[in-house]
Amino acid sequence: MNTRRQLGEFLQSRRSQLRPEDVGVATYGGRRRVPGLRREELALLAGVSVSYYSRLEQGQASNASPEVLDALAGALNLDDAERRHLHELATGSRRRGARRRPAPERVSPATRQLIATLGDVPVVVLGRRSDVLAWNTPGHALYAGHLAPDAPDTPRQRPNMACLVFLDAHTRDLYADWAAKARAVVATLRMASGWHPDDPLLAALLGELTVKSPEFATMWADHRVKAGGDAVYEMRHPLVGTMQVTQQTLRTADEQAVVVATTEPESPSHSAMTLLVHSAVTGRASVAQDPRRDAPART
């Protein structure tokens, strides 16, 4: 992935979404031909020359100092996740080295202990590219009961959560507000692309999703980033119905995401989740296991 181009596209996308009145820039009622701030206006706010800022947006500069990046982040009103992403892109544009196939991701014993400790709480462990590295029985039942329970155990057959969200009808139907979930997935991948600009498998995943999903391509062009955290989704499970589910994301030392799903105690959602977990754990869940409905193919 070309991090200089990504850096320029990120700056341009954030600049175009800032209105002059958001940052105290006077327009004097004049007609503006472009959305958002002009390059010269942002350069003035950040205290850098227009020519230098233009080179950054055009992918022609790779030596932005941390001080300049912080000034640009302040002028653009970036949040903490966006600020880190900006620095990662700038750092990545200065890196050199051969692109090599990364080592397979594995779940550490400590993470497996965490999954076991959480017991009947649905848990899914995702790798840096959103590959499903592990799930417990409740996690499998909640997110992907239509797939084989042991699918994450073989690296070449692991489901990919981003592919499921964009390319799998079952997963798409799980979310009442599918677009919100999809945007969160894209924003997480955008952050990963800044952390790992030379990962060929991540680049291949992004290319696959861009080709197969016009919705992904549109959301990817927005350059939103997300570092994890909590989110509440209305999930429409085919076995137990609608639930309000809080998805909390914990980060491990090896950059894996442990996604934990909970419901509000004593709520109808909690009752539905309890029924789903009980059915899954006792083996009475009527979940389709037809191999023809496997996860979207990966190449």
Tokens representing residue 69 in the block? 């990046």
**Domain assignments of the chain as residue spans, ordered by start:** 3-94, 109-293
State the DSSP code for 255: S
4-13, 85-94, 101-110, 268-277: which has the minimum mean pLDDT?
Answer: 85-94
pTM: 0.74
pLDDT at 289: 43
Q: If you average pLDDT over every residue of the chain, what do you get?
A: 85
Note whether 3-94 and 109-293 share their fold. Answer: no
In this structure, CATH architecture of domain 109-293: 2-Layer Sandwich (3.30)
> Which one-letter amino acid corresponds to residue 242?
T
pLDDT at 93: 54
Question: pLDDT band at 296, cuts 50/70/90?
Answer: low
Given a cut of 50, whether residue 297 has pLDDT beyond it is no
Question: pLDDT band at 158, cuts 50/70/90?
Answer: very high
The reply to whether CATH 3.40.50.300 applies to domain 3-94 is no
Pick the residue with more confidence: 269 or 79?
269
Pick the closest to residue 127 from 220, 192, 42 (CA basis): 192
Pick the residue with more confidence: 30 or 265?
265
Given a cut of 80, whether residue 22 has pLDDT beyond it is no
Per-residue pLDDT tens digits for 111-149: 999 999 998 999 999 999 999 999 999 999 999 999 999
pLDDT at 284: 45
Residue 260's Cα: distance from chain center in Å?
16
Q: Is 39 exposed, middle or buried (0-12, 13-18, 19+ CB in 10 A)?
A: middle
- The residues near 46 (Cβ < 8 Å, ≥ 6 apart) are 53, 68, 71, 72, 74, 75
Pick the closest to residue 246 from 224, 269, 268 (CA basis): 269
